[in-house]
Homo-oligomer: A and B are copies of this chain.
Amino acid sequence: MAVKRTTLMDVARAAGVSRATASLVIRGSDLVADKTREKVEKVIAELDYVPNSGAARLRGQKSRTVGVIIPNLVNSFFSEFVEGIEAELDEQGYQVMLASSRDDPERQSGLLRRLREHDAEGIILFPAEGTEPDTIEKLVAAGVPLVQAMRHVGRDLSDFAGSDHGLAVRLSVRHLRDLGHRRISFVSLAGKVSTREERLGAFEEELRAQGLVNAGVIDVPLEWDGSPQSAAMLMALDPRPTAAICFNDILASGLLRGLFDLGLMPGRDLSVVGHDNLSFIDLGAPPRLTTVQVFPRQIGAASAKLLLRRIKDPGAELKSEIVTPRLRVRDTTGPVD
């Protein structure tokens, strides 16, 4: 049971060299003669030696580990984001420690602490709803390399990688304008989300710029079924909108279902634009959702790159990496009659 761990000492002894030499071989130093290297490597393979990184990091100071905190993993938006991070870090030999805040700032604080205990060299934080700027300031002040991703509570606090939410909304509005729509609604998430203000602001601004009418903003909860009740709510508005822009694809898909249930046809009776371009959109029955693609995988990769840069050079200037969203026109938007 209590199998004693194979240590560097065992390897050294078996290979007839010193601990120091064995250590050099493991770390691929070129200070060691080829013959010696081969000998040691053979022994390592035979003994199935696995270095104890605890000891290594204690002495060497680097854990080659990065902490990642996300609100949850419920939809592919989040998991693609994590995939992007993982792929990029993996390439640089880093390991990801994943934790989910469940959008609770309290929990998030605990996780941050735990990640530091676990000696993460840096942290990528997709901030939970309601995160205090203070939380981030403290970490940065303590010298913890940190990147805010997707959301932020202040871009002057740390590096940041995200999407241009304003542009996403503007693209949607312009697309609808080109199709002749003049009365447009926005289906948003209830609750205080930082990105909500950002998008609503851009929505109203762009409507004004294009001389269009805000036909009303409705708030729905984010449920697994996408809250199809939004359909009836929209149809009850006066003046009635001919198009709706949704906060994300889940809400948009819920709206589609709601429309069907009312016997209405998306793209004809009401044009619908989503946000995220979740991967399920191309699946299943038509019509397919017109939506704005935001490339979470790229944003994940970008935040990983930013973090590695900051770990290497803690004094570097603050940097933001904004991935440009792209409109994907499919079936749920059409010309107004």
Contacts and interface: CB of A to CB of B under 8 A. Distances in A.
B279 A224 contact: yes
A225 interface: yes
B48 A142 contact: yes
Nearest to A48: B142
A13 B287 CA distance: 68
Interface in A262-311: 266, 278-280, 282-287, 289
A80 interface: yes
Interface in A58-91: 58, 63-65, 72-76, 78-80, 82-83, 86-87, 90
Those 8 A-B pairs whose CB atoms lie nearest each other, nearest first: A253-B283, A280-B280, A73-B79, A79-B79, A54-B57, A3-B143, A54-B58, A253-B284
Nearest to A254: B283
Contacts of A256: 283-285
Contact of A76 (B50, B79, B87): B79
A194 interface: no
A46 interface: no
Interface stretch (A95-103, A161-169, A177-185): A95-103
Given A58-B55, A95-B114, A99-B90, A282 B142 contact: no
A113 interface: yes
B52 A58 contact: yes
Q: Which of A72, A73, A82 has the most CB of B within 10 A?
A: A73
A54 B286 contact: no
Interface of A: 1, 3, 48, 50-58, 63-65, 72-76, 78-80, 82-83, 86-87, 90, 95-100, 113-119, 138, 142-143, 224-226, 250, 253-254, 256-257, 260, 266, 278-280, 282-287, 289, 314-315
A17 to B, nearest CB: 21
Nearest to A86: B100
B282 A260 contact: no
A86 B97 CA distance: 11
Contacts of A64: 118
Nearest to A81: B73
B280 A257 contact: no
A287 to B, nearest CB: 6
A59 to B, nearest CB: 9
B98 A86 contact: yes
Given A86-B98, A250-B283, 5 more contacts: A53-B117, A53-B119, A54-B54, A58-B58, A256-B285
Nearest to A59: B54
Nearest to A87: B100
A54 B260 CA distance: 57
A146 to B, nearest CB: 14
Contacts of A98: 82, 86, 96-98
A17 B282 CA distance: 64
Interface centre among A52, A90, A118, A143 (most CB of B within 10 A): A118
Contacts of A3: 142-143
Nearest to A286: B260
A289 B285 CA distance: 10
Contacts of A253: 280, 283-284
Contacts of A90: 99-100
